[in-house]
A and B are shown apart, each in its own frame.
Chain A
Amino acid sequence: MSTQTPVRGHYASEDPLWVKVVVVTLVALFLTLLLILPLVTVFSEALKRGVGPALEALGTYDAVSAIKLTLTAAAIAVPLNAVFGVCAAWAIAKHEFPGKSILISLIDLPFSVSPVVAGLIYVLVFGAQGWFGEFLLEHDWRIIFALPGIVLATIFVTFPFVARELIPLMQAQGAAEEEAAVSMGAGGLTTFWRVTAPNIRLGLLYGVLLCNARAMGEFGAVSVVSGHIRGLTDTMPLHVEILYNEYDFVGAFAVAGLLCLLALLTLVAKTVLEMLHPGVKTRSAH
Chain B
Amino acid sequence: MTVQTADRRGSASGAAARTSRHRSSWRRRRSAIPGFGLTLGVTMALLSLIVLIPLTAVAIKAASLSPADFARVAFSERAMLAYRLSFGAAFVAAIINGVFGLLTAWVLARYKFPGKAFIDGLVDLPFALPTAVAGIALASLYAPNGWLGAPLAKIGVTAAYNPLGVVIALTFIGLPFVVRTVEPVIAHLAADVEEASASLGASRLSTLMRVILPALAPAWLTGFALAFARGIGEYGSVIFIAGNKPYISEIAPLLIVIQLEQFEHAGAAAIALVMLVASFVLLLAINGIQAWARRFQA
Contact = CB atoms under 8 A, between A and B. Distances in A.
A166 B15 CA distance: 29
Contacts of A97: 28-29, 36, 40
A162 to B, nearest CB: 12
Nearest to B275: A114
Contacts of B195: 11-13
A178 B34 CA distance: 9
A34 B181 CA distance: 19
Nearest to A252: B136
Interface in A69-87: 83-84, 86-87
B141 interface: yes
A261 to B, nearest CB: 11
A47 to B, nearest CB: 14
B141 A37 contact: yes
Contact of B203 (A1, A155, A264): A1
Interface of B: 3-4, 6-7, 10-11, 26-29, 31-36, 38-40, 42-43, 46-47, 50-55, 57-58, 60-61, 100, 103-104, 106-107, 110-111, 113, 115, 117, 119-138, 140-141, 146-148, 171-172, 175-177, 180-181, 184, 191, 194-195, 197-199, 203-205, 207, 219, 222-223, 226, 229-230, 232-236, 240, 252-254, 256-257, 260, 263, 265, 268-269, 272, 275-276, 279-280, 282-283, 287
A67 B232 CA distance: 29
B198 A224 contact: no
B45 to A, nearest CB: 10
B260 A224 contact: yes
12 contacts: A34-B172, A38-B172, A95-B28, A96-B28, A105-B283, A112-B229, A115-B233, A117-B275, A127-B265, A131-B57, A182-B7, A224-B257
A275 B207 CA distance: 32
A98 B272 contact: no
Contacts of A114: 232-235, 252-253, 256, 272, 275, 279
A124 B43 contact: no
Contact of B103 (A23, A98, A116, A240): A23
A220 interface: yes
A31 B33 contact: no
Contacts of B226: 285-286
B106 to A, nearest CB: 7
A56 to B, nearest CB: 19
Contacts of A92: 43
Contacts of A169: none
B29 A41 contact: no
B235 A219 contact: yes
A118 B232 CA distance: 14
Interface stretch (A134-142, A185-193, A197-205): A185-193
Interface of A: 1, 3-4, 6, 11-16, 20, 23-24, 26-28, 30-31, 33-39, 41-42, 45, 83-84, 86-88, 90-92, 94-98, 103, 105-117, 120-125, 127, 129-131, 152, 155-156, 159, 175, 178-179, 182-183, 187-189, 191-192, 210, 213-214, 216-220, 223-224, 236-238, 240-241, 244, 249, 252-253, 256, 259-260, 263-264, 266-268, 270-271, 275, 283-286
Contacts of A12: 194-195, 197-199, 204, 207
A79 to B, nearest CB: 13
Contact of B51 (A83, A116, A159): A159
A28 B257 CA distance: 37
B155 to A, nearest CB: 16
Contacts of A152: 50
B113 to A, nearest CB: 6
Q: Closest 10 interchain pairs by CB?
A: A114-B233, A217-B130, A12-B198, A219-B236, A97-B28, A220-B235, A96-B29, A188-B34, A38-B137, A3-B204
Contacts, number: 338
A15 B272 contact: no
Given A35-B123, A106-B51, A182-B33, 13 more contacts: A13-B194, A20-B111, A26-B100, A35-B175, A39-B137, A91-B43, A94-B31, A110-B51, A116-B256, A187-B3, A240-B136, A260-B129, A275-B117
A236 B132 CA distance: 10
Task: Point out which of B129, B138, B222 has the most chain A C-beta atoms below 10 A from its C-beta.
Answer: B129
A250 B161 CA distance: 21
B26 A98 contact: yes
A121 B58 contact: yes
Contact of B233 (A16, A117, A191, A256): A117
Contacts of A175: 31-33
